Amino acid sequence: MTDKKRKIPQKWEDEKKAIRATQVAFDVGEQVQYVIRKEALDRNVNPSDRIRQILGLKVLSKPKRLRLSVSLNNDEMAYLAKVYQVDAGDPIEIKRRAAEKLVEHVKNTLNNKE
């Protein structure tokens, strides 16, 4: 038998609030998207926080880990595994190698600007 009077952990309470949030996507032109994304980068925030700032909404002050992401299907993961000569069933190693390639790309790009 469960105790119905038991308090819900704070973590779950916070998740309940997040569930109530509504995702809003804006269909705006390419130039608007570019400027907002660039402003976000220049301010070291993510684009959704920049949108919140522009709209005058509260933005969490705690720093977030900015990260890049991409969606890969099974064929793309298999392709990368082949390119990196790793097991296709090891997504962590594929991710590590892909991250290394991104870092190397940026180093090369910055070196070519000098």
For residue 26, what are the CA distances in angstroms to 2, 66, 69? Answer: 44, 21, 20
Decide: helix, strand or coil at residue 39: helix
| pLDDT at res. 86 | 96
Average pLDDT, the chain: 85
In a domain, 8, yes or no: no
Question: Domain span at residue 45?
Answer: 15-54
| pLDDT at res. 17 | 62
- The residue with greater pLDDT, 113 or 17, is 113
- Judge if pTM exceeds 0.85: no
50 and 81 share a domain?
no
In a domain, 69, yes or no: no
In a domain, 36, yes or no: yes
Residues 47-105 have pLDDT tens digits of 989 999 999 999 877 666 667 889 999 999 999 999 999 999 999 999 999 999 999 99
In a domain, 66, yes or no: no
Instruction: Using CB atoms within 10 Å of the CB of residue 90, give its burial: 0 to 12 exposed, 13 to 18 middle, 19+ buried.
Output: middle
In a domain, 95, yes or no: yes
The span from the CA of 19 to the CA of 29, in Å, is: 29
Amino acid at 79: Y
Residues 99-111 have pLDDT tens digits of 999 999 999 998 8
In a domain, 65, yes or no: no
The number of distinct structural domains making up the chain is 2
In a domain, 108, yes or no: yes
Q: Is 56 left (phi over 0), alpha (psi -120 to 50) or beta?
A: left
